[in-house]
């Protein structure tokens, strides 16, 4: 037989595109259209429905960027269409190739009830089935003119990311606005041909099945009269039926499709627009659930449910009904799909607390799947938090984006810092927006790493963001692919059903230990420094607010601010979403975030102030309040003592003979040369020098930074090829024992203050940068005389080790990584810590016995925010020579939780004391249920087994171990009113103490 494969495959494409698909709607009549342009921000639905309209025609321009247009369409179903299915086709000017990143609409009935969303791949609204003829059609559309920020020429700077710079010209033109007959038979023929055609092209040309499908398709196309597709579609479908009836092989892969729409809580649109995106998508999905009994839809992010509950209660009512029926499935158990690298310990725990509690209170559902398909790497602390939150499974897809190394597993046990394991799945389909296309399914089967041990994978199916979710076409594909030769078996089912089956067949899955490092998007640790600083400061203020409010309630009877703390926590958690905290959203988002953080911090300062005033009383003198988990001077951890109880000798300062200054305080001697660089940091107790021979620390270095793509997200390794050391000075002087210096470079200016606190083995550096650069990367380098093959970087509830070398491609890929308050380097018996108050990115290199650590301070990408980080920034970091790991922990907390001085004369005893500094208390608060119980969370901080005694500073009636949601796990038996604790390395323990 002659090889005519390419000719017949080309035939299928053209006939489908030009004849059969257009025949799905064989008859149509135009609708009358009128419009009202809402001024400014979106208006309530009732106002939009009632506003006056102006008639417009198809082709009319509409929508300045970020504007809202309210369209009304009217028409009458022709009498000749009686008995047929009629739909409204409402094309707002969509580009079918960009679902999720352009204009969208939500359709309403005249009474204001929502119908469904309008999206590029979902433009239809069912009007009558069957039609009687003569029906009047009246629909309203709330249309959002969201501009295309990420277009066919991505990553180019644009002003469209902020309403203030987006312009006022219309962004779209109305396209088809018709009533049309929907021909179900032709539509089904399209689905038959698409499924068989896509399957065919993925099979080997040597496969008999491929040729069988080709001949079946060819015969079916012969049966189609191109001038009468509706009249001949049924006959063509009969010819395809035998090919569609061939069952899958017994060994065929099993794919669990889960309806899904990954909706970024902010990204290339502001938070307010996400509220509407969620409403449109959930309106779509609840409508589809009513039409398709086999469909299952899963949605994560408690915040998004809360938004539609508040802003679109009529949509939320449909969601609640579908959840109760078990087919709209809450998943994830977190407040948002947060970044997991940068949120602090308590914040990451509270993501689960607030997320899971919302689903329990609203739906009575205990979510067991942690659903994070799109975050930029996953902290090694997560497995323990997953378990302590009462969850069992973990899902992500993002690791498939890694540039250098292919992750070796798709289904595995993930072991975290403390040894806790969680059953984990990476969908081998390599997308969280699957269409169930033939190419995607074939890729999933080829790509699946667990062949021979496991047979199942999962596919999140649907258009994300503003794409509207799963479509009826995707469901049609799933029905045809349920049992089809050459294809995996596809079935829509709940994520929990997939995980239960996968765990049952593959309990012996391999183990991956440690973080899930994404070899991409490393610059998210630095972009948008203001957002990151707002997060860090808000987290620590929340710690203080809970601690001092609980102490004030127990000690003085002051009311505990339950509602305020709950609201503020949720605001901070929202801004940890994986495109806000990482700095990858449009300018509008980060501009709003800065204002929000300012409000949050002001309110938290008010809460803290009220509590401290209640605690300090009216006595004379000054109290020093210490919210850190370690004693500081005379103040106990989490308590207060009179100022002056311990006053170490202040540091001395003198000039260096060849320029610069020497600072000394009995513990540390630091030398700053005439360039303003730290050339010596000498540990006087051990006689050990921290700065590498010939090196200079606190060296600011500037790099060109223009990644190949994903500007705000990425830094590529070649950025290191060019570097400018900033050594030129404008001024250098000594004022009040502190070295002050200024430098100018490019259009920017740096001012630094270098000081040596009294009684401390810490060299403090305060850096102010007036940053006016673009496409540059600023780092602060510390070459250290420490020979080590690994560095300890703080993460949530502990620290993890990363290599200082590049022996393997896995090691080399970690050229930029995350640390929280400290990094620590150590040789046996001596170490150095570098602590910071607001940075997350760092890099480390080793040359012989010199290990250089560099803090990442600022970047200047131009997409999606063309003015990223322009302006003034403040950073505090410190070098701690002679630091043991415990010193690194302690100094990190001290820098981030500065002491507070308050008028008053009565010392404040801590609510709890722990007698082992390795056991760090991360939270002291009152129980969320209003019972008045004191909740204490602590963790082993050094990576070893630790014993300790927890002593409450109040009469305790009983105690128990609880989970993150403060639900009991086991009783704890006090001995003489104290609790004896034994923790494994990096174990997290939450205790609930009932007051007598």
Q: Can you tell me the distance from the alpha carbon of 85 to that of 800, in angstroms, rounded to the nearest whole number?
A: 61
Q: Do the strands 68-76 and 32-38 form a parallel or antiparallel pair, or are they unpaired?
A: antiparallel
For the stretch 431-448, pLDDT in tens is 999 999 999 999 999 999
Q: How many helices (H) and strands (E) in the chain?
A: 18, 53
Rg (Cα) of the chain, in Å, rounded? 31
Give the residues across from 799 on adjacent strands.
794
Q: Can you tell me the distance from the alpha carbon of 898 to that of 895, in angstroms, rounded to the nearest whole number?
A: 6
pTM for the whole structure: 0.97
Mean pLDDT of the region 148-167:
95
Long-range pairs for 603-607 at CB < 8 Å and ≥24 separation? 603/564, 603/568, 604/538, 604/541, 604/542, 604/544, 604/545, 604/568, 605/541, 607/545, 607/549, 607/561, 607/564, 607/565
* Residue partners of 450: CB distance under 8 A and separation at least 6: 409, 410, 411, 506, 509
SS3 string, 630-699, reads CCECCECCCEEEECCCCCCCCCEEEECCCCCEEEECCCEEEEECCCCCEEEEEECCCCEECECCCCCECE
- The burial of 735, by beta-carbon neighbours within 10 Å (0-12 exposed, 13-18 middle, 19 or more buried), is given as exposed
Q: Do the strands 822-827 and 830-836 form a parallel or antiparallel pair, or are they unpaired?
A: antiparallel
Confidence (pLDDT) at 1? 60
Q: Can you tell me the distance from the alpha carbon of 833 to that of 467, in angstroms, rounded to the nearest whole number?
A: 47
* Residue partners of 361: CB distance under 8 A and separation at least 6: none
Look over the chain and give the mean of its residue pLDDT values, rounded to a whole number: 97
Mean pLDDT of the region 82-90:
98
Q: Can you tell me the distance from the alpha carbon of 452 to that of 629, in angstroms, rounded to the nearest whole number?
A: 50
Secondary element (H or E) of residue 297: strand 297-299
> In terms of residues, how long is the chain?
996
pLDDT at 648 exceeding the cut of 80: no
DSSP 248: P
For the stretch 960-992, pLDDT in tens is 999 999 999 999 999 999 999 999 999 999 999
For the stretch 378-394, pLDDT in tens is 999 999 999 999 999 99
Confidence (pLDDT) at 647? 65
For the stretch 720-771, pLDDT in tens is 999 999 999 999 999 999 999 999 999 999 999 999 999 999 999 999 999 9
**Could you give the percent of the chain with pLDDT greater than 90?**
97
DSSP 57: -
Q: Can you tell me the distance from the alpha carbon of 597 to that of 897, in angstroms, rounded to the nearest whole number?
A: 17
pLDDT at 3 exceeding the cut of 80: no
**Structure-token match 């086709």, residue found:** 89
Catalytic residues: 374
Q: Can you tell me the distance from the alpha carbon of 279 to that of 276, in angstroms, rounded to the nearest whole number?
A: 5
DSSP 941: -
Both structure tokens of 596: 């929000």
pLDDT at 100 exceeding the cut of 90: no
Q: Is 732 helix (H, G, I), strand (E, B) or coil?
A: strand
For the stretch 539-581, pLDDT in tens is 999 999 999 999 999 999 999 999 999 999 999 999 999 999 9
Helix, strand, coil percentages (3-state) for the chain, rounded to 5, are 30, 30, 40
CA dihedral 936, 937, 941, 946 (to 10 degrees): 60
Q: Can you tell me the distance from the alpha carbon of 723 to that of 706, in angstroms, rounded to the nearest whole number?
A: 13
């Amino acid at each position: 037989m002659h090889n005519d494969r390419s000719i017949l495959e080309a035939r299928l494409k053209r006939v489908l595109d030009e004849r059969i698909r257009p025949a799905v709607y064989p008859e149509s009549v135009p609708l009358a259209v009128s419009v009202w342009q809402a001024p400014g921000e979106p208006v309530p639905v009732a106002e939009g429905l009632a506003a006056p309209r102006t008639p417009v025609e198809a082709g009319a321009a509409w929508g300045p960027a970020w504007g809202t247009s309210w369209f009304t369409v009217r028409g009458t179903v022709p009498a000749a269409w009686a008995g047929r299915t009629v739909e409204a086709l409402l094309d707002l000017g969509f580009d079918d190739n960009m679902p999720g990143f352009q204009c969208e609409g939500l359709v309403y009935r005249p009474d204001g009830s929502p119908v469904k969303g309008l999206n590029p791949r979902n433009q239809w609204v069912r009007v009558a089935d069957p039609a009687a003829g003569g029906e009047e059609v009246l629909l309203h559309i709330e249309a959002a003119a969201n501009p295309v920020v990420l277009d066919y020429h991505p990553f180019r700077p644009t002003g469209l990311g902020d309403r203030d710079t987006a312009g006022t010209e219309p962004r779209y033109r109305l396209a088809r606005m018709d009533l049309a007959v929907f021909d179900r038979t032709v539509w089904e023929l399209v689905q038959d041909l698409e499924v068989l055609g896509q399957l065919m092209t993925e099979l080997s040309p040597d496969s008999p099945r491929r040729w069988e499908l080709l001949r079946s398709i060819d015969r079916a196309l012969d049966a189609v009269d191109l001038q009468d597709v509706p009249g001949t579609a049924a006959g063509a479908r009969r010819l395809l039926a035998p090919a569609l009836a061939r069952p899958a092989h017994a060994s065929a892969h099993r794919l669990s499709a889960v309806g899904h729409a990954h909706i970024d809580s902010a990204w290339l649109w502001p938070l307010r627009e996400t509220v509407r995106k969620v409403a449109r998508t959930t309106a779509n999905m609840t409508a589809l659930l009513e039409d398709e009994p086999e469909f299952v839809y899963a949605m994560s992010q408690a915040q998004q449910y809360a938004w539609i509950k508040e802003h679109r209660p009529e949509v939320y009512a449909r969601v609640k009904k579908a959840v109760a029926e078990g087919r709209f499935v809450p998943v994830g158990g977190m407040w948002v799909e947060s970044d997991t690298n940068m949120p602090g310990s308590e914040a990451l725990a509270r993501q689960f607390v607030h997320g899971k509690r919302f689903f329990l209170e609203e739906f009575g559902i205990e979510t067991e799947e942690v659903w994070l398909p799109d975050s930029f790497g996953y902290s090694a602390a997560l497995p323990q938090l997953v378990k302590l939150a009462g969850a069992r499974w973990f899902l992500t897809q993002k690791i498939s984006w890694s540039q250098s190394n292919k992750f070796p597993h798709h289904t595995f046990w993930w072991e975290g810092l403390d040894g806790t394991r969680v059953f984990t799945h990476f969908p081998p389909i390599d997308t969280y927006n699957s269409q169930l296309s033939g190419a995607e399914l074939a890729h999933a089967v080829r790509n699946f790493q667990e062949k021979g041990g496991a047979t199942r994978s999962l596919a999140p199916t649907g258009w994300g963001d503003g794409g509207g979710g799963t479509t009826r076409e995707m469901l049609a594909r799933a029905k045809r692919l349920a049992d089809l030769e050459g294809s995996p078996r596809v079935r829509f089912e709940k994520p929990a059903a997939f995980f239960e089956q996968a765990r049952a067949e593959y309990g012996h899955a391999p183990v991956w230990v440690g973080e899930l490092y994404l070899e991409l998007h490393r610059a998210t640790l630095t972009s948008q420094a203001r957002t990151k600083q707002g997060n860090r400061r808000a987290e620590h203020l929340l710690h203080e607010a809970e601690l001092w409010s609980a102490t004030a309630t127990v000690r003085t009877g002051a009311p505990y601010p339950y509602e305020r703390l709950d609201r503020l926590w949720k605001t901070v958690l929202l801004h940890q979403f994986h495109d806000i905290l990482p700095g990858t959203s449009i300018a509008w988002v980060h501009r709003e975030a800065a204002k929000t953080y300012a409000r949050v911090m002001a309110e938290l300062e008010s809460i803290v102030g009220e509590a401290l005033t209640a605690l300090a009383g009216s006595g004379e003198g000054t109290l020093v309040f210490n919210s850190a988990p370690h004693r500081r001077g005379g103040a106990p951890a989490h308590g207060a003592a009179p100022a002056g109880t311990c006053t170490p000798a202040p540091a001395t300062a003198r000039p260096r003979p060849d320029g610069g200054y020497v600072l000394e305080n009995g513990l540390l001697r630091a030398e700053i040369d005439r360039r303003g660089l730290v050339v010596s940091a000498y540990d006087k107790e051990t006689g050990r020098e921290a700065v590498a021979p010939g090196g200079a620390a606190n060296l600011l270095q500037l790099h060109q930074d223009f990644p190949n793509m994903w500007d705000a997200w990425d830094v590529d390794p070649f950025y290191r090829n060019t570097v400018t050391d900033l050594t030129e000075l404008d001024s250098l002087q000594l004022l009040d024992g502190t070295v002050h210096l200024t430098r100018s470079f490019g259009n920017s200016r740096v001012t630094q203050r270098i000081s040596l606190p009294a009684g401390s083995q810490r060299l403090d550096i305060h850096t102010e940068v007036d940053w006016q650069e673009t496409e540059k990367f600023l780092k602060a380098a510390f070459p250290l005389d420490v020979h080590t093959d690994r560095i300890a970087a703080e993460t949530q509830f502990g620290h993890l080790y990363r290599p200082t070398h590049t022996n393997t491609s896995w090691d080399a890929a970690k050229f930029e990584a995350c640390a929280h308050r400290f990094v620590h380097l150590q040789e046996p018996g001596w170490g150095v810590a570098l602590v910071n108050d607001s940075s997350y990115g760092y890099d480390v290199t080793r040359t012989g016995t010199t290990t250089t650590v560099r803090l990442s301070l600022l970047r200047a990408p131009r997409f999606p925010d063309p003015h990223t980080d322009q302006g003034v920034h403040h950073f505090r970091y410190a070098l701690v020579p002679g630091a043991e790991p415990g010193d690194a922990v302690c100094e990190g907390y001290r820098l981030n939780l500065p002491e507070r001085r308050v008028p008053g004369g009565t010392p404040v005893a801590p609510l709890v004391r722990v007698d082992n500094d390795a056991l760090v208390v991360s939270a002291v608060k009152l129980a969320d249920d209003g019972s008045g119980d004191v909740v204490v969370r602590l963790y082993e901080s050094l990576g070893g087994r630790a014993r300790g005694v927890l002593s409450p500073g109040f009469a305790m009636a009983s105690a128990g171990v609880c989970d993150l949601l403060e639900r009991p796990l086991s009783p704890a038996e006090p001995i003489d009113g104290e609790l004896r604790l034994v923790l494994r390395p990096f174990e997290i323990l939450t205790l609930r103490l009932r007051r007598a």
